[in-house]
Each structure stands twice: as structure tokens, then as C-alpha cells.
Amino acid sequence: MNFIKLFIVFFGVAYIVAVFGMYAFQRKLQYHAENKGLTPGSVGVVGAAVETLTTPDGEKIIVWYAPAAEGKPTILYFHGNAGEIGDRPLRFNYYHSRGFGVAYVSYRGYGGSTGSPTEQGLLTDAMTAYDWLITKGIAPQSIALLGESLGSGVAVQIAARKQVGAVALNAPYTSAADVAARIYWWLPVNLLMRDQFRSIDFIVKVTAPLLVVHGDRDILIPVEFGKKLFAAANEPKELEIVQGFGHEAMFEEITWAREVEFFERVMRR
């Protein structure tokens, strides 16, 4: 009996220590920022200028920008969790080769930008980039938001607050907390998690045409999350399930081509 009591006490203490540890270091676990010093030229991105924007809270964020051809939209792109914008050169070249303007936002703490990532910080960075495009004379209805994985939560919240021409989401989630709860099922995630990116609460405020693209074999953010978010969204909306692909569907040309077709159709002037 004493052994059982000792085990219970040990387990309880270990659990409490684990909970406090996860709470204290959660952002280290949540964000996987890299800063390898990549430039457009070093990764083969053609026609992009490196812009440095100052956010309202004083951070310096990097944007890779290439202007649109006459009459074409500009894609404001919010990348996923891992790596940095320089790890995604093929997408940039693909969109720009189709005449689209492209603005790749490097969140704070990622790829040459100052600061450390938080939900509010990423939203501030995204809003700063959006406002910068407006000051360049790009009309709101000519801005297409594109959010990849983590960035889908950023795109949804910006679209809920600002006028845009269209929104495309790759491997989106209902909330980051829902995704984390699948992994850390033994933790009270909803009580502990600071940066929850609750897209499900904001998607109902998005009125721009919406495209959701999700791989049917995604194990990182299962397709059920994308379907649930899609179901909660307003019309007009379209859902594309990429058969035979997991989370990497966002890096496939089939996804980029679907986005380009969608943007050109719903944003036609």
C-alpha cells in the first residue's frame, strides 16, 4: 500500500512539473523559426526585392516582394511553421511567372526579421505588410491572402478584419489548440496554450471568396480540421481535397495551380 501511495505521489509531482514545463516553454515548442540568411538570389527567386518594414511595436520584418503584371492580383503570403520564406522559392516563382504580384512575409523571429514569434506578433506583422501594400497603391480587392498551415490562422484573422479580394488556405485548422490537443492529449491544452489561433471563431467574419486545399493523408493537421473550418465558412467557398498527399500537398504544383485558377476566376475585373 505504501508503494502505491508513493507511486501516486511521484506520478502527481512528475505531472505537475511536466505541466509547468510545457507552459513555460510552450512557444519554443510551438514555433520552429529558422534564420539561415537566405536571400532571393541565393535560392533562385527571380524579380524579388527585399523590403524591411517597421511594425507598430518596433520590430523590423522582412518582405520579399515582386510587383504584379498589369491587371493581376497580388498574393500576400503567410508561410507555415517550419523554416523560413527562403525555403519556399518555387511557390514564389510559380505565382510570379503567372503574372501575380507576390509578397512573402517573414514573421518576427524568422528569416531576417527581428523579435520572437507570438500570435499577436504574427498578426501585427501580417497587418503591417497588408497596410504597406495599400500604401503602394494596391487596392484591397486586388489583394489575395494565402495562408499555409500555421499561416492559415494568420490569413483568416486578417481576412476577418480587412477587405481582400480572395483567400486561399492550405492545410488549415479549426484552432492550433485543437491540433496540439491531439498530440498532448494528456495536458489541459485549452487552459495552458497562449497562442491558440482560433480560426473557427474568425472564419464566420470572412466574406471574401474562400478556397480550402487539404491533403487527404495529412497526419500533422488532419483533413477533418480543414473540412470543419470549411463547413463553418461563408459562401462563396470551394474545397479541394488533394488525394494521395499529406501535409506536403501545399508544396505541390497541383495546389499552386488550383490557387492560381481560383484567384483568376473570382478576382476577375
Three-class secondary structure of residue 6 per DSSP: helix
pLDDT band at residue 243 under the 50/70/90 scheme: very high
pLDDT of residue 269: 57
pLDDT of residue 183: 87
Higher pLDDT among residues 19 and 86, named by residue: 86
Q: What is the mean pLDDT of residues 68-73?
A: 96
Please spell the DSSP secondary structure of 83-101, one letter per residue: B-GGG-HHHHHHHHHTT-E
Q: Report how far residue 41's alpha carbon sits from residue 66's, in angstroms, rounded to the nearest whole number.
A: 13
C-alpha cell at 179: 491540433
Q: Model confidence over 97-110: pLDDT tens digits?
A: 999 999 999 999 99
Q: Model confidence over 176-203: pLDDT tens digits?
A: 999 999 988 888 888 889 999 999 999 9
pLDDT of residue 18: 64
Q: What is the mean pLDDT of residues 63-92?
A: 96
**Full-model pTM:** 0.94
Q: Compute φ and ψ for 79, nearest 5 degrees.
A: -80, 175
**Residue 75: its H or E element:** strand 74-78
pLDDT of residue 189: 83
Mean pLDDT across the chain: 93
